[in-house]
Structure 1
Amino acid sequence: MSLRDVESKSVKHTVTTPSESEDGDQPPRRLPLGKRILGTVWDSLDKSPEERKLIAKLDWWILSYVCVAYFIKYLDQTNVSNAYVSGMKEDLNLHGNDLNYLTTYWTIGYIIGNLPSQIILTKVRPSIWLPTLEIIWSILVIGMSGAKNVTTIYTLRFFTGLLEASAYPGIMSLLGSWYTPAELGKRSCIFQASSSAAQMFSGYLQAALYKGMNGRNGLSAWQWLFIFDGIIGIPIALYGYWAVPDSPSNTRSRWLTPEERELSIERMKTAGRAPPGKLTARTFLDVGRTWAAWLFSLLFIAHVCGIRIYSYFNVWLKSTHRWSVEQVNLIPTAGYGAQIVFTLSYAWVSDALQMRWPVVIFAATIALIGTIILSVWPAENIPAMMTGWILTFLETGAGALIIAWINEICAYSTEHRILIIGLVETMSFTFNAWVPLLAYNTSQSPHFTVGYKLAAMFFALEIVLTLVIAYVAKRWNLKEQYLKREASRRAQGEQRESSNGIYDTYP
């Protein structure tokens, strides 16, 4: 198949995408109704056979790796909550704010590692960088099982966070390099849903370990949890060396044919997605001058600080003394199950609407209602309390749409996309490192009077900022600004070269 054939097939089957409709880069090109319905159900059904085959391959290799890898990553990130209520608190004599500090040390490592990891990804292939770090942090998680005091856990949590910082922004950048805007929402949310599945699985796993493995070979159930979580990450990381295809313009993946590589390049070109370029000091300055870097950072800060609330669900369950340890681990899985359903529904609705911002607002509104219920604190009304907690789970999928939105708005530059996603993650988790220490002091658990109100404030702020970004994206188009800036620099460079030429030839 020639490149011209590829281009004609790609253009022929192009659909209206979220980036086109929201950013106004191109006039929408509409397919017949039947094709649009098929494209909404699953976005490859309205494509040519060649493109359907390519997308199926991408889904099989990329999605299989990123979803399972992030599933493992989230197990390793959040397992301390299950371990805390399953004997670690008593065995290591944890008290006061220690549970928050366990998360804080991980978060500090995550903050430090985030942006450097994104910068390294512009120099080192993702197929090498991402799996290698996963192997190392899996070994550290296994090491937590041998901790004799909380200081050891703090240290290992810090380095685990440092290495895990590569996963979320790196994978989101990878998805943005291969999928068009019409496809990106679903894949981003499917990827995001794997974190919910991980937290569900962690609850079931810890309940099973507490029942069947507690005390076996002299190890407590929480120690077995760290061992199991670490071991299962290593083969997944090894699979990543084969599955991750880097980017369309420099892929060395053996599961892609030369024709499919050409088609992948053309798909990204048609979607306005720029290939990797050169990272310079000027790139950092340009990113710092864009509204996207700071408005999206504020939006993601509100998102991350808001969803922190539901990690204390099992702490409240334990404090009521109504349920056993196994039940305390199992009940929150209902929230994670609902989270998966809502996250996937956000993806389909967002792609059908061809907009991200209305769905983000809807998700934040649901969680806001939950935080209002918890702020009122109807402690004796268990159904109301359960409803409030479950509703706080349902906003998480909006995070994937926010990152997909960044991938689309910043499609004009691979370096801008990668750096802004890294900056957004770094800023949000910087706040997440200290806000919970003030909002959710565990000495006040489970009635965090300040925390529940702050969470409500964050979700309300998320709604406002989403509306602001939707307006600003229309008003100040980043692609147009970038192209004008680059054209001006080229003109200045040509003018200097012309002036130098005149001086060089002057007798």
Structure 2
Amino acid sequence: MSAKESLEKGDVTIDGREVDLAVAQKPPLSKRILAIIWDSLDKSPEERAFIAKIDFWILTYVCIAYFVKYLDQTNISNAYVSGMKEDLHLSGNDLNYLTTYWNIGYILGQIPSQLVMLKIRPSIWLPTLELSWGFLVMGMAAAKNVKTLFVLRFFIGLLEASAYPGIMTLLGNWYTPAELGKRACIFQASSAAAQMFSGYLQAGLLQMDGKHGIAAWQWLFIFDGIIGVPIGIYGYFAIPDQPTSSKARWLKREQKDMAIARMEAVGRRPVKKLTKKKMLSILSSWQLYMFCAIFIVHVLGIRIYSYFNVWLKSTKRWTTEEVNLIPTAGYGTQIIFTLSYAWISDGIGKRWPVIIGACIPALTGCIILSVWPDHNTPAMMAGWILTFLETGAGALIITWIQEVCSASAEHRIVIIGIVEAFAFTFQAWVPLFVYDTAYAPDFPIGYEMAAMFFGLEIIITVVIWGLAKKWPLKDEGNSATEPSD
């Protein structure tokens, strides 16, 4: 009997011991409630111990690594409003250009990084890029002009390109559909925590302005780069690659067997050789184009909230410290909503209704910003906070890709890379026209365009749900996998 067949009967034999994995059998109500609260509580002691161990190693690494990456992304905006603009004589659309150069590097690195992970172990590839990234971020503090910043932002984006798609692929290698949504959203929430922390960090570093001849905004990049180095070193030990080829010393042999059996039970295939035929299959699949479309509008929509502090600064109603601190309310709310999306989507076993639900408050916020005048401060504040709340849907979209493409690891890895690359290709130039900072605080078309992006996301979500039902991805044996919600 295969591992998958054993799992469907409710047990699997590992090293002569029968382990209940409770994958296919419908558990009693008490266990279903425990599974919704935390998905390992209804499992056998052996599987609970296994999940706790991979949570400890994998989740700690991915969350801290992404926290630091997003801290850097937010630091650019916070540094801009905290002295960098004046010290380096930035003007007009320079803030957007800094993001654009980062995006160009990020775009160029996405697909190659994902393909490299088919040849080089993630446990080597990802931490090495992390270390290199940390040193370049520290170099931002030494920049003397905006041209140097442009060059550094390009290479930082190139190195950072591996993080989001690589980590999401890693999570998909180890967690079942009932577990993946929570981990993906916890991972996504680390970005909101980073953005929230960055505001407090910059406000605190204002007190260090001028110490040792270093400005407060420079301390921000030094701090970020320094904490990235030990995280990279930790990654060499924490990343377990994939179950069928893991060399992680912290996993016992029977736990590796359990990991393989768990993935077989949910139809998630291990990585095989990426052939020309498989590549053509990927490039001709509806999954590639529809998930590209939804992730593009998602990324362009959530871009709006990153201009909250620019709006605050341009109104000249708040101090520099307040400009850094006020947006943290949005990031705190974002964390709560992102985690709620995880529990709800895993609880109901569907992704698409929660993605739609996440779009509604952000769409409402954009409508408020479009309708209410700038002098109505309470309305504008409410509108801005609501724009933060859709971000967690991004993790669910990538989770959905993992589940819709369970039958082919190559589809999962390549599509995630292409989806990210295409989304950030659009982010590299669309904000220059849609969210032109030279016109802050008005953004003549920005609020309306953001509303349109969230509206399109809702429509595309419904289309993907219908396509997944009608044309699920087939495995190499040409039998359709179960469509995923």
The bucket for the TM-score relative to the shorter chain is over 0.9
User: Distance in 1 between the 2:464 and 2:162 partners?
Assistant: 26
What is the CA-CA distance between 1:11 and the residue it aligns to?
Answer: 6.5
Residue 229 (structure 1) aligns with: 224
Residue 424 (structure 2) aligns with: 429
Q: What amino acid is the match of 1:14? A: V
Residue 192 (structure 1) aligns with: 188
The 5-angstrom pairing of residues 467-482 of structure 1 reads 467-479=462-474
Q: Deviations over 1:464-488 (max 9, x none)?
A: 00000011100111136x53289xx
Q: What amino acid is the match of 1:431? A: F
Residue 393 (structure 2) aligns with: 398
Residue 7 (structure 2) aligns with: none
Residue 123 (structure 1) aligns with: 119
Check the 8 A contact 2:310/2:437 in 1, yes or no: no
Q: What secondary structure sits across from 1:103 in the alignment?
A: helix
Residue 483 (structure 1) aligns with: 477
User: Distance in 1 between the 2:278 and 2:141 partners?
Assistant: 43
Q: What amino acid is the match of 1:307? A: I
Please say if 1:61 is aligned against 2:57: yes
Displacement over 3 Å in runs of 4+: 6-12
Check the 8 A contact 1:134/1:233 in 2, yes or no: yes
User: Distance in 1 between the 2:20 and 2:462 partners?
Assistant: 32
Residue 499 (structure 1) aligns with: none
Please say if 1:39 is aligned against 2:48: no
Q: What amino acid is the match of 1:361? A: I
What is the CA-CA distance between 1:258 and the residue it aligns to?
Answer: 0.4
Q: What secondary structure sits across from 2:474 in the alignment?
A: helix
What is the CA-CA distance between 1:12 and the residue it aligns to?
Answer: 4.9
Q: What secondary structure sits across from 2:269 in the alignment?
A: coil
Q: Deviations over 1:156-193 (max 9, x none)?
A: 00000001000000000000000000000000000000
Please say if 1:343 is aligned against 2:318: no
Q: Deviations over 1:122-163 (max 9, x none)?
A: 100000000100110110010010111000000000000001
CA gap of 1:440–1:126, structure 2 versus 1, over 3 A, is same
Q: Deviations over 1:426-480 (max 9, x none)?
A: 1100100110001011111111121111100000000000000011100111136
Q: What amino acid is the match of 1:68? A: I
Q: What amino acid is the match of 1:62? A: I
What is the CA-CA distance between 1:356 and the residue it aligns to?
Answer: 0.2
Residue 102 (structure 1) aligned to one of 88, 98, 123: 98
The 5-angstrom pairing of residues 4-403 of structure 1 reads 4-6=12-14, 12-14=21-23, 29-210=25-206, 212-403=207-398
Residue 483 (structure 2) aligns with: none
Q: What amino acid is the match of 1:306? A: G
What is the CA-CA distance between 1:365 and the residue it aligns to?
Answer: 1.0
**Structure 1 unaligned spans of 5+:** 16-28, 487-507
User: Distance in 2 between the 1:93 and 1:397 partners?
Assistant: 35
Q: What amino acid is the match of 1:338? A: T
User: Distance in 2 between the 1:281 and 1:234 partners?
Assistant: 38
Q: What amino acid is the match of 1:163? A: L
Q: Deviations over 1:307-362 (max 9, x none)?
A: 00001000111122221111100110000000000000000000111100000001
Q: What amino acid is the match of 1:423? A: I
Q: What amino acid is the match of 1:355? A: K
Report the TM-score when normalising by structure 2: 0.95
CA gap of 1:454–1:484, structure 2 versus 1, over 3 A, is same
Q: What amino acid is the match of 1:413? A: S
CA gap of 1:12–1:243, structure 2 versus 1, over 3 A, is closer
User: Distance in 2 between the 1:169 and 1:483 partners?
Assistant: 27
**Structure 2 unaligned spans of 5+:** 4-11, 481-485
CA gap of 1:204–1:12, structure 2 versus 1, over 3 A, is closer
Residue 503 (structure 1) aligns with: none
CA gap of 1:379–1:416, structure 2 versus 1, over 3 A, is same
User: Distance in 2 between the 1:140 and 1:78 partners?
Assistant: 16
Check the 8 A contact 1:335/1:393 in 2, yes or no: yes
Q: Deviations over 1:85-120 (max 9, x none)?
A: 000000011111101000000000000000000000
Q: What secondary structure sits across from 2:268 in the alignment?
A: coil
Check the 8 A contact 2:88/2:146 in 1, yes or no: yes
User: Distance in 1 between the 2:142 and 2:390 partners?
Assistant: 36
User: Distance in 2 between the 1:327 and 1:475 partners?
Assistant: 51
Check the 8 A contact 1:316/1:445 in 2, yes or no: yes
What is the CA-CA distance between 1:77 and the residue it aligns to?
Answer: 2.2
User: Distance in 1 between the 2:124 and 2:279 partners?
Assistant: 24
What is the CA-CA distance between 1:10 and the residue it aligns to?
Answer: 6.1
CA gap of 1:247–1:385, structure 2 versus 1, over 3 A, is same
User: Distance in 2 between the 1:54 and 1:153 partners?
Assistant: 45
Q: Deviations over 1:276-310 (max 9, x none)?
A: 11112222111011111000000000100000000
Q: What secondary structure sits across from 1:389 in the alignment?
A: helix
CA gap of 1:12–1:255, structure 2 versus 1, over 3 A, is closer
Please say if 1:451 is aligned against 2:446: yes
User: Distance in 2 between the 1:458 and 1:441 partners?
Assistant: 17
Check the 8 A contact 1:274/1:412 in 2, yes or no: yes
Q: What secondary structure sits across from 1:483 in the alignment?
A: coil
User: Distance in 2 between the 1:116 and 1:233 partners?
Assistant: 22
User: Distance in 2 between the 1:63 and 1:327 partners?
Assistant: 33
Check the 8 A contact 2:20/2:43 in 1, yes or no: no
Q: What secondary structure sits across from 1:5 in the alignment?
A: strand
Q: What secondary structure sits across from 1:402 in the alignment?
A: helix
User: Distance in 1 between the 2:112 and 2:379 partners?
Assistant: 44
Q: What secondary structure sits across from 1:477 in the alignment?
A: coil
Check the 8 A contact 1:142/1:227 in 2, yes or no: yes
Q: What secondary structure sits across from 1:471 in the alignment?
A: helix
Check the 8 A contact 2:311/2:441 in 1, yes or no: yes
Residue 442 (structure 1) aligns with: 437
CA gap of 1:11–1:289, structure 2 versus 1, over 3 A, is farther
Check the 8 A contact 1:118/1:169 in 2, yes or no: yes
